[in-house]
Every structure is written in C-alpha cells, then in structure tokens.
C-alpha cells in the first residue's frame, strides 16, 4: 500500500462479504450482500492485517531492497484498499445516514493508520536506504518511478519531522479528514433540503414538455402536487433556461449559489478552518503556502506558474467574455427586457439568442440524444478508435437498480475491465459527474489484476412518457467521464499507485477533455444520433448548427472556469488565517473575472467540493491546463482523421496506458512531438491572436 493511498481504506470478519474473496465475476464487489453493519468490523480487521504487513517489512532482518521494502509496501494493505474503495465510493454515489455517520467515525482511524506508516521512522529508514542507492540498483523506468514516488511521499507526509512536529502533523491531518467529510455531508444535505414547489399551472405552461414532465415526476416522487424543481442540475438548469419567471428563477439561483452558507448545513466556518489547517500543515512541512506544497508534484510545478497561466487565460479572454455578456444584455432589451441583466436572466436569454442566431435549441437536439443511443455512440467511438467492445453482464452485482455493469474486451478478445454505469440523480448521490475505481490495475506475483471502473453522473431521468433525453452538455459530460474511464480501462503497469488515473492532477483531465471534441464532429454524430421516436438520423443541417454554435459564449464559459481557478488558488495561497467573511474573501479573489453583476450573498466556496473535499485543492486550474493539452492533441486527430487508428494507438500507448509510470510531459511530447502551447486553446475558442 502506498502512503498516499492509505487515506482510502477497507476491512474483514467471517461471514462478512467484505472479509472474503468475492465469488462474483472478476472478483467484483458483492454489492448484493454488503450491508452497513459489515463495514466497521471489516475496516478494523483490515487495518490490523495491514499493520501486520507493514510491521513485517520493518522487522525484516535482511538489508532493505527494492523488493522487500518498496514493492512489499506497495502491495501491502490490499484488503484495506478494496474495502475503502467500496465504502467511500458508495458514500458518494449511494449513501445513507448510517454510512455518513460511519465515515465520520472511521476516517480518523484510517488517517491515524496512514500517519502511522508515513511517520514510522524505522520504515522511512528502510525506504531511504533503498532510495540512497537508487542509481546502482538497475531499476527499470517503472520501478525507478515507484521508488521516487514512495520516498517523496514519506518526505511530504512528515517522515523527517521531529517527534513533536509529527504529533502536530497527526492532529492536523486527522482534523482535515474530518472537516472534509463534514463539508461534503453539509453540501449534499443543503442541496437536498431545497425544493421549488409550483402548483400554479400557468407558471409551467411555457416550458418544454420534457421539462414539465420531469418536474411533475419529481413532485410525484415526493408525494407532492404540481411540479417540483430541485438544485440538482438536470432539474434546475432546464427551468432556468426556459422559464421567463424572474422571481422564481432568482429564488432558485440564490438558493443554488448560496448552498451551505448559513443555516443548518453551514460550511462557512468549515471552509476557513480547512484553509487554515492546510496552511498550518504546509508551514509544518516547510512550505510558505498550501499551494506551494501541492504544486511541487504537478506539471505546473509551482504557484507562480499557475498564477501566470490563469492570468494569461483571463487577460486574453476577458474582453471577449464581456462582449458575450453585452450581446445577451442587448438581445434581452430587444425582447422587451428592462433593467440590469442578472445572473438568473442569463440562461433564458442566451438560449433564445442561440436559437435565433443558429436556429438551434435543446428541444431540437434532445430527441436525438436518447441516453441509450448516446451510450451506444460512446461505446462505438471507443471501438472505432481502439477496437474495444462492451458487453453487459447482469450477473455482476450492482449497488443500485439504476446501475449497469459491462465487461470490456480488447480488439484481440482479451478481458480488460468491468465498467459500471450509474446515470441518474437521487437523494443518496452527490451532484456532478465523476469516474472512479473499485479496483485498480496491477501485476502481483506474475498475476495481472484488471480494473473495476465506475462512471457516475446525474443525467435527466426518464419519465412515464419519455425516455432519458440528454442535453448537449450532458452528451459532452458522458464523453468526458468516459475518457477518464478509458484511462483506467487501458491501464498497463505493475504497481497500482502508478496505473490508470494515478497521474498528476493537471494531467489527469487530458484523457477526459479530449473526448469532448467528438461531440461536435459530424462523422461521429452520423453513426448513432437518431430520433428516439422515428429512428431518423439527425439531419445534416442540425449537426452543422451544433458545429457552428460550439463556440457560442465560449469566452464567457472560459472566464467562469478561470474564476474557479482563481478562487481555489486564493484559498490555498493564504499566509495567515482568513479573518473576514468567506463571501468577502471570494469576492476579492475573483473580482477580475466577475463578468456578470455581483449578487450579495453569492458564494461558491461553501459548496466547492472539488477543492474542499474532492482532491483538487490548488488544482482546479488543471481543467484549463488540460484544455491546452487536449486542444493541441486533438489537432492531430483533425489532421489525420478523427477515427485514425494510428493516432489513437499512439494516444493509448503513450498517454492512456502509461498512467504515472513516467513524467507526463515526457509522455505528451512522445505522443505529440512537441510541448503544448496555450495558443491552441485560444484558437479552438476562436479568440484572436496575441
């Protein structure tokens, strides 16, 4: 078990499905047998086993070697990792009150165990002894990378601290683990707590039928009359886009943009406490800020590089973004709108202008984006690029009736992975979309273990009358998460901490974001986009409209993303605790990127799970960083052909299969032939030259 992986963990006991080898196909988790009461005893036993394995490494009388120390540590705690992956993934995708309480109870134990490893002086002494002789060991590239990563992980997790400072380190990491979980629970609870209940039919008459049906289905599910809008994106966004009722939209917008700010599920104090404790942790380890600490192990390498990167992205696009907003405001006036255009007005008028400008809207596109057809298209894309195929297997247990499991096979028929697909929102699932793993790929004692990959989304649910019809944004989201899945599926290495998506945070979004490009390629859409009722292919003129409209408000969307990066970097660049309010701090941090009017009380930080509970602290810039990479990388597909097997093969060989076995810039240059340039992104967005 790697030190960095210890934060996620798992356990055992007889007649406990978590304590024995799974009898399900491919050793997949027995979700059909796992119950809440199984977790705690399983974790406790797995921690004991993992401790014994680590103790055996420390007590080994033989001199430290790569095999008896570095490899042995890498493969220790496998059961703990497996149970951890099950529990914490389900705590995100299908949680309940008991699991949330358990998470708060178990996390300190797991953090303490991780600290016991990283702060063990005898273990670090063995690791260092191997590291100091690294140049004479004859290691291959992957082994050398593992040794370097293991040594750095110890050093960056307090191994060289004094005993007094080690105790402080333990206290800080345990507190941060607890705060992160509490932040996530508050955010989910605040999202679920709000509903916009409408009983007046005139308030929904103007909405497209699919929006009304979705709202009615939501109300019925809650045993309420009329129509209900929630803060889940598939519910909220269509209402904001198609309703002209400013009063209701303002209420909805304010609720969404102030989640967990005040009230029962307040995260404001937690945000400041997380930032403060992260600063203390960084200072303890010898760094001026938490950003300095985190960015040391990133492609960007340091905070000045990230800040310069974000500044250039903002400076080059802010005028174009302001022009985007101005165009919507001017258009709204032609539609009789009076007063200042506010954020809750933007979606409605931007959709109307888009329809007028390109003769395209979501109502036109959605009938061609039936979820099953989109999934077919995504699978077909993988087959055309890489030769892989997907086969549903109903014998593989799933954790919710909505989830489906697929076997993935390579072009030569070799089994590659199990892929779980979990599409629809529910109260037990956090918002957003993500890819994760229940098991990563590795090779131990000559036996290859293939991965168990999961894609989780919150797409528009089917209703009694209509199947799940995706918006264009949801189509690109599925392509994005599927790109992450391919990164895991194609993993081809030895050590689990270096395979699949175990790469630098600012590199991990390249495989996902490049996939989004196919969403606006006619040659791809022609393969699968058919009307869900008639079976007729999407008309060529509609596809052309999608292509023409792909850069609509691109600068505005770009600057919004940059603002999230600025917000993130501000929180993690503090050199002393934040004294003022969360809202004031955020307002100042994002002021240069504030394109729409600022609304008192708006706050992203209190529900910004990516940076306060999701692993993107001082790393949200990664999305834009990866956009530069993917814009440059996809240009090669455009040059050679969007289904070109040679380019795809090189991308698989040099990017998707390698994981973290080599430095990402080396891998990228090997694929593309040169380092990426920011200009590729501006060209893609249609923003003028320098």
Structure-token pair, residue 424: 């629809």
Q: Evaluate if residue 14 carries a pLDDT over 70.
A: no
Q: Residue ranges of the domains in the chain? A: 3-160, 194-256, 367-553+623-685
**pLDDT averaged over every residue in the chain:** 95
Bigger pLDDT: 270 vs 5:
270
What percentage of the chain has pLDDT greater than the value 70?
98
Residue 686 confidence (pLDDT): 87
Residue 1 confidence (pLDDT): 42
Of these residues, 481, 509, 521, 627, which one is catalytic? Answer: 481
CA dist., res. 60 & res. 539, Å (int): 69
Catalytic, 74? Answer no
CA dist., res. 551 & res. 69, Å (int): 52
Cα-Cα-Cα-Cα dihedral of 638, 683, 475, 483, to 10°? 60
CA dist., res. 149 & res. 327, Å (int): 50
CA dist., res. 487 & res. 509, Å (int): 10
Q: Evaluate if residue 11 carries a pLDDT over 70.
A: no
Name the class of domain 3-160. Answer: mainly alpha
Q: Any idea what DSSP says for residue 551?
A: T
Q: 3-160 and 367-553+623-685: same fold? A: yes
Residue 684 confidence (pLDDT): 87
Residue 10 confidence (pLDDT): 35
For residues 405-428, give the mean pLDDT: 97
Asked if residues 561 and 623 have their Cβ atoms less than 8 Å apart, the reply is: yes
Residue 33 confidence (pLDDT): 97
Residue 6 confidence (pLDDT): 35
Chain segment 554-568, per-residue pLDDT in tens: 999 999 999 999 999
- Tell me the three-class secondary structure of 135-174, residue by residue: HHCCCCHHHHHHHHHHHHHHHHCCCCCCHHHHHHHHHHHH
Q: HSE on the CB side for 11, CA within 13 Å? A: 20
pLDDT band at 689 (very low <50, low <70, confident <90, very high): low
Residue 2 confidence (pLDDT): 38
Structure-token pair, residue 109: 């134990």
Chain segment 481-500, per-residue pLDDT in tens: 999 999 999 999 999 999 99
∠ CA 280-284-286, nearest 5°, is 120
Residue 13 confidence (pLDDT): 55
Residue 366 confidence (pLDDT): 94
Q: Evaluate if residue 9 carries a pLDDT over 70.
A: no
Chain segment 599-633, per-residue pLDDT in tens: 999 999 999 999 999 889 999 999 999 999 999 99
Residue 3 confidence (pLDDT): 38
State whether CATH 2.160.20.10 applies to domain 367-553+623-685. no
Residue 464 confidence (pLDDT): 87
């Amino acid at each position: 078990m790697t030190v960095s992986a210890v934060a996620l963990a798992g356990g055992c006991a007889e007649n406990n499905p978590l304590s024995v080898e799974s009898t399900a196909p491919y050793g997949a988790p027995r979700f059909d047998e796992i119950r809440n009461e199984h977790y705690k005893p399983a974790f406790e036993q797995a921690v004991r086993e993992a401790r014994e394995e680590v103790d055996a490494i420390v007590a080994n009388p033989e001199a430290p070697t790569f095999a008896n120390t570095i490899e042995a540590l890498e493969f220790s705690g496998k059961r703990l990792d497996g149970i951890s992956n099950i529990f914490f993934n389900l705590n995100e995708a299908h949680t309940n009150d008991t699991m949330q309480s358990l998470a708060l109870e178990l996390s300190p134990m797991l953090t303490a165990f991780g600290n016991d490893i990283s702060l063990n002086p005898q273990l670090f002494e063995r690791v260092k002894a191997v590291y100091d002789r690294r140049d004479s060991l004859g290691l291959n590239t992957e082994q050398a990378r593992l040794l370097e990563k293991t040594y750095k992980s110890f050093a960056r997790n307090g191994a060289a601290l004094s005993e007094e400072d080690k105790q402080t380190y333990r206290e800080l990491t345990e507190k941060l683990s607890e705060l992160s979980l509490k932040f996530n629970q508050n955010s989910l609870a605040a999202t679920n707590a709000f509903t916009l209940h409408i009983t007046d039919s005139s308030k929904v008459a103007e909405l497209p039928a699919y929006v009304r049906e979705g709202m009615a289905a939501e109300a019925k599910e809650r045993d309420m009359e009329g129509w209900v809008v929630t803060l889940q994106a598939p519910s909220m966004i269509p209402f904001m886009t198609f309703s002209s009722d400013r009063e209701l939209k303002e209420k909805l917008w304010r609720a969404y943009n102030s989640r967990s700010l005040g009230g029962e599920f307040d995260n404001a104090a937690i945000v400041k406490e997380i930032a403060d404790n992260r600063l203390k942790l960084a200072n303890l380890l010898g760094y001026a800020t938490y950003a300095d600490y985190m960015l040391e192990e990133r492609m960007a390498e340091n905070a000045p590089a990230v800040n310069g990167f974000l500044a250039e992205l903002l400076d080059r696009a802010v005028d174009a973004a302001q022009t985007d907003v101005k165009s919507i405001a001017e258009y709204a006036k032609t539609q009789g709108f009076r007063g200042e255009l506010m954020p809750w007005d933007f979606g409605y008028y931007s959709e109307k202008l888009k329809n007028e400008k390109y003769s395209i809207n979501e109502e036109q596109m959605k009938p061609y984006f039936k979820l099953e057809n989109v999934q077919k298209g995504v699978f077909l894309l993988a087959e055309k690029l890489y030769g892989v195929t997907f086969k549903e297997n109903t014998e593989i247990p799933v954790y919710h009736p909505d989830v489906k499991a697929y076997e993935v096979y390579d072009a030569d028929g070799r089994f590659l992975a199990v892929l779980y697909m979990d599409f629809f929102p529910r109260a037990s699932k956090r918002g957003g979309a993500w890819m994760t793993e229940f098991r990563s790929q590795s090779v131990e004692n000559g036996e290859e273990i293939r991965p168990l990959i999961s894609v989780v989304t919150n797409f528009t649910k089917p209703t009694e009358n209509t199947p799940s019809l995706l918006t264009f944004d949801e189509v690109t989201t599925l392509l994005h998460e599927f790109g992450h899945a391919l990164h895991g599926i194609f993993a081809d290495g030895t050590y689990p901490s270096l395979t699949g998506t175990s790469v630098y945070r600012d590199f991990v979004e390249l495989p996902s974001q490049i996939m989004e490009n196919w969403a606006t390629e006619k040659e791809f859409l022609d393969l699968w986009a058919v009307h869900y009722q008639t079976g007729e292919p999407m008309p060529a003129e509609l596809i052309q409209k999608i292509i023409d409209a792909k850069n609509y408000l691109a600068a505005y969307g770009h600057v919004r993303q940059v603002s999230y990066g600025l917000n993130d970097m501000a929180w993690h660049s503090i050199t002393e605790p934040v004294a003022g309010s969360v809202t004031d701090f955020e307002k100042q941090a994002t002021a240069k990127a504030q394109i729409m009017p600022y609304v008192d009380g708006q706050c992203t930080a209190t529900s910004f799970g990516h940076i306060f509970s999701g692993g993107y602290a001082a790393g949200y810039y990664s999305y834009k960083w990866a956009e530069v990479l993917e814009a440059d990388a996809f240009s090669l597909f455009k040059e050679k052909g969007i289904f070109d097997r040679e380019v795809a093969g090189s991308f698989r060989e040099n990017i998707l299969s390698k994981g973290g076995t080599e430095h990402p810039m080396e891998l990228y240059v090997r694929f593309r032939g040169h380092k990426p340039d920011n200009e590729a992104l501006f060209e893609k967005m249609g923003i003028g030259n320098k």
